[in-house]
Amino acid sequence: MQRLGLFIAVVLVLAALVGVWALGAGMEHRIIPGVWVWDVAVGGMEPEAARPYLETGLGLRHPNIVLVGPEGQRWAFSPADLGMAVDTEATLARAFAPGRAEEMTQAWRERIDILLEGRRLSPVLTWNPQPAHVRLSAIAAEIDRAAVDAGVTLRGAELRLDAGGLGRRVEVTETLELLLPALHALEPIERALVITELPPRVTDEAASQALGTAEAILSRPLQLLVSDPREGDPGPWTLSPEVMAGMLRIRVAEEQILVALDEAALADTLGPLAMALYREPQNAAFEFDPDTMTLSPIRPSVVGREVDVAASIERINTRLQTGEHFVPLVTRETLPELLDTVSAEDLGIREVIAVGESYFTGSSSARDRNIRLGASKFDGVLIAPGETFSFNEHLGEVSPDAGYDQSFVIIGNRTVQGVGGGICQVSTTAFRAAFYAGYPIVERWPHAYRVGFYELGGFGPGFDATIYSPIVDFRFVNDTEHYLLIQTEVDAARARTRFIFYSTDTDREVEQIGPTWGERIPPGPPVYEYNPDLAAGALVQVENPVQGLNARLGRIVRDAEGQILHEDTFISNFVPWPARYQYGPGFVPPPNAEVITPEP
């Protein structure tokens, strides 16, 4: 009993001594005993001595933050890994502050309280979110996956449905928000990653619908036709399922799959069809009666037609979507400028303003037929104000299919048999009418050598115009405010062709100058060409000799006030043309002749 009393007395003495030490001057540079920073006892230590205890004792580097993935994956991090840190200076200052009141009595009371009760303080923590974002983003790179759109695949002519799939995305910000309370409390925690499921843009249902559409498109041939067929129209046209499979395009647009034939491929297919169905609008051709001052159509106007390729492509794809496989192409009519109902007064057709004529006496029957056919192409033609007349444009194709016969034509330096010989008689006549009408002539070509037909009727050399479609043309401009009507006549009895121009007389005056000619150039020696197909000793003359010369034809056109509108000079350099013969085996050409023999 005495020993127990002695022990208690000793303890009390020691406690008194510690209390005196804790409350006394010994604590001036030390943390008051009984102060804890969370579970780290720092009381009685100088702040500098307490520093390592804080840095190691608070558990910032313990991997006690566990994240769980969607397939059970686990990632462990310490608070320090996720950017948490202790502000050691601020925390030590916070631990050193208790029991430091300025008033000594108050300071002693607080120290006694700390000694008896203890004081647990929170550390001063800082957080840098960047390390946490880096680590969570690395996890997201492992976990994230894109949604897979459902689709339709075409391989050859085989269609296949490709199923879609969900995607997923780790929500880094939301996951951090779940972790922040534990990070600030430095508590162990286990949390599942916050993950958002990503649905595909195109669902299996949408892909299934697209598959059905594609199968319907390729289920049978596509037939293209014209809803308003005209005589001579081609068609219908058929595209087989195999051909359409090569054109089929499947693409994703927003949340659906679009199935259609490729527009570029359809355009390539429709291009030739559009050309075959194209119809040029044609003005009516008229005959003018100067007695009644009326026009009568001799050829009706023709409404043109063209295929709207872009609209046809849209229609084809729209109809195919609904299962239709008989699709009319989209066409539109193009109206001619002049309908049959136009009147002479509307056009300013009132009187004859000029006549051009030429003679073809001595022409062969083939040349005669060609002249008649060629002249008929211009009968009733109307030329609008400001329009440029092109002889070749109105003449059209010169071929046996168009009705032309073989006759002599000039090609290069030879007169040979060719289709359409005699057409230049028609162009020469048109040139003379335009000359006397005073219209600006923008293209006129002379013949290579003098042709006797064009010097009949007193015109003389140089008043001709040759054409060779489509390269060499004859063109003039209707530079008045009135339409020009062309009528043609072929007088068989007189062997004469005429172009009669009807319009409104503008009182133009045309002064003809010439034609004048230079010195005549001899044709040179005759040319003999061997022809093994001729009989032995035979000789046939195929061309007559013609002298060459330079011809000059001038024109001055004045308006009603006498002001000069046009001054023209038409030059013709006619080359000399020798006589040409063909001879058969055994014939000996004369010594002064140029002889052409076939190459061995």
Bridge partners of residue 540, in order along the sequence: 582
Region 368-386: mean pLDDT is 93
Quick check: 1 pLDDT over 80? no
Residue 217 inside a domain? The answer is no
Extended beta strands in 337-427, E state: 351-359, 381-383, 388-390, 406-411, 414-419
pLDDT average, residue stretch 177-205: 89
251 & 304 share domain: yes
Domain boundary among 142, 177, 208: 142
* Same-domain pairing of 357 and 485: yes
- Looking at the domain assignment, is residue 166 inside a domain? no
Of 79-83, 115-119, 326-330, 578-582, the range with the highest mean pLDDT is 326-330
DSSP 379: T
Q: State the residue for tokens 């335009």.
A: 434
Q: Say if residue 408's pLDDT is above 60.
A: no
Contact present, 486 and 380 (Cβ < 8 Å):
yes
Q: Do 528 and 567 touch, CB atoms closer than 8 A?
A: no
Domain check: are 393 and 513 in the same one?
Answer: yes
The phi, psi pair for 181, rounded to 5°, reads: -60, -40
Count of structural domains, the chain: 3
Percent of the chain's residues with pLDDT above 90: 61
CA–CA gap between residue 348 and residue 488 (Å, rounded):
19
Mean pLDDT of 413-427: 71
Give the pLDDT confidence score for residue 9 in this predicted structure. Answer: 43
Q: Mark whether 358 and 484 lie in a shared domain.
A: yes
> What 8-state DSSP symbol labels residue 24?
S
Domain boundary among 100, 116, 142: 142
* Length reported for the chain: 600
Same domain, 262 and 353: no
Q: Which residues contact 587 (CB under 8 A, 6 or more apart)?
A: 536, 537, 538, 539
Q: Give the separation between CA 213 and CA 5, rounded to whole angstroms.
A: 104
And the tokens for 337? Answer: 């400028």
pLDDT-derived band at 11, boundaries 50, 70, 90: very low
pLDDT band at 161 (very low <50, low <70, confident <90, very high): confident
Torsion of the alpha carbons at 173, 175, 178 and 184, rounded to the nearest 10: -70
Do 457 and 402 belong together in one domain? Answer: yes
If asked whether residues 352 and 435 sit together in one domain, one would say yes
Better pLDDT: 544 or 236: 236
pLDDT band at 154 (very low <50, low <70, confident <90, very high): confident
- C-alpha 152/C-alpha 160 separation (Å) is 6
DSSP string for residues in 29-80: TSPPTTEEETTEE-TTS-HHHHHHHHHHHS-TTS--EEEE-TTS-EEEE-TT
pLDDT in tens, 446-498: 998 888 889 999 898 999 999 988 889 999 999 999 999 999 999 989 999 99
Residues 564 and 538 both lie in one domain? yes
3-state secondary structure 73-132: CEEEECCCCCCEEECHHHHHHHHHCCCCCCCHHHHHHHHHHHHHHCEEECCCEEECHHHH
**CA atoms lying within 13 Å on the CB side of residue 582:** 10
* 581 DSSP β-pair partners: 528, 541
pLDDT for residue 13: 40
User: What per-residue confidence (pLDDT) applies to 17?
Assistant: 46
Question: What's the DSSP call for residue 492?
Answer: T
5 alpha carbon, distance to own chain's centre: 111
Q: Is residue 54 located within the same domain as residue 82?
A: yes
Question: 232: which 2 tokens?
Answer: 């001579």
Verify that 16 and 84 share a domain, yes or no.
Answer: yes
Read off the DSSP letter of residue 148: B
Instruction: Provide the 8-state DSSP code for 385.
Output: T
Query: What element of type H or E holds 170?
Result: strand 167-170
Q: What is the mean pLDDT of residues 550-576?
A: 94
In the structure, what pLDDT confidence band is assigned to residue 411 with cuts at 50, 70 and 90?
A: low
pLDDT greater than 70 at residue 279: yes
Question: Which of residues 98, 126, 142 is at a domain's end?
Answer: 142
pLDDT score for 599: 64
Q: Do residue 446 and residue 578 come from a single domain? A: yes
Q: How many helices (H) and strands (E) does the chain have?
A: 14, 37
Q: What does the pLDDT read at residue 94?
A: 92
Where in the sequence is the domain holding 364, given as residue range(s)?
348-596
Which amino acid would we find at residue 514? G
Percent of the chain predicted with pLDDT > 70: 92
